[in-house]
Amino acid sequence: MSPSPIPVTEGEVAFNPCVTWYKVVGSLGSRRPLIAIHGGPSVYHGYLLILADLTEKHNIPLVLYDQLGTGNSTHLPEKTGDVNFWTEQLFLDELDNLLAHLGVQDDYDILGHSWGGMLGARHAVHQPEGLKNLILFSTTAEMRLWEKAQNLLRTQLPQDVQDTLTKHEEQGSTDSEEYNMAMGVYYGRFTCTIHPLPQAIAECFAWIEKDPTVLLTMNGLSEFCVTGPLKDWSIIAEAHKINVPTLLLNGHYDMAQDSVMTPYFARIPQVKWFTFSESSHMAHFEEREKFMEIVGNFLVQ
């Protein structure tokens, strides 16, 4: 007999006047679920659906969701620039609301990627009783460290690409096709080394183009100079409060260089760190088998 198909359910949960869309792969209640928090801001859940490998191999229920402002959740483009609305606390409240709606708030693990790792870390410093394990995947402990790392990576680009970036930044023409092509070289080297780009990752960039509201408001469009309120974001002073076993993951060619993750390793009491030697920012695609092995072993230990 062939194995029974893994159940997949989708739904929405009310969040103030808005809704948060979610997907569950596997059966809640079969074992502790993994809550996957996507990056961005302004991308969506799709590129983390590959984590269903863990459901297939270890029967770990996977919960994915689209953060407010992207994907299948409520969009609010009229709030572009509203820094009093688009706050870290908004997204922390959204996460808590989802956990309660699904009834998993007393027993769950979190994997947060990039911006999602920043949210996951902040959630963890409040020491919620239900959180049992934390995975911080290609994320930063401080935005100023992130900016510094991106500007160092920029110096590794071909000189003509660097010159193009600088020219358009000085001219204020960063919406030009030439600038976008130069940025494509940067992202191609430090975001995902697979060519052509996997469709699920390409769709993330497409969502930013469809509705960049959250990204523009909280971060700004440049990785090299953050202009939104996230420019002052840091968790270094609170990282020691994370009291659950924590796994740090990044790639050798990652935007999340070791320098941006070292404060987590130095301050979290129960912490392990693994760097994927052939990956950039998307190790779950670039070294898929190894990634699932490392994460699976951590979660089922």
Phi, psi of 157 (to 5 degrees): -75, 155
3-state helix, strand, coil in the chain (%, to 5): 45, 15, 40
Cα–Cα distance measured from residue 256 to residue 197, given in angstroms and rounded to the nearest whole number: 19
Residue 60: Cβ within 10 Å count: 23
Show which residues are catalytic: 114, 254, 281
- Collect all residues with Cβ–Cβ distance below 8 Å to 142 and sequence separation of at least 6: 233, 234, 235, 236, 260, 263
- Collect all residues with Cβ–Cβ distance below 8 Å to 180 and sequence separation of at least 6: none
CA dihedral 292→294→295→300, nearest 10 degrees, is 110
* Tally of residues, the chain: 301
> What would the two tokens of residue 3 be?
């194995």
> What would the two tokens of residue 289 be?
């088998």
97 contacts 12 by C-beta, under 8 angstroms: no
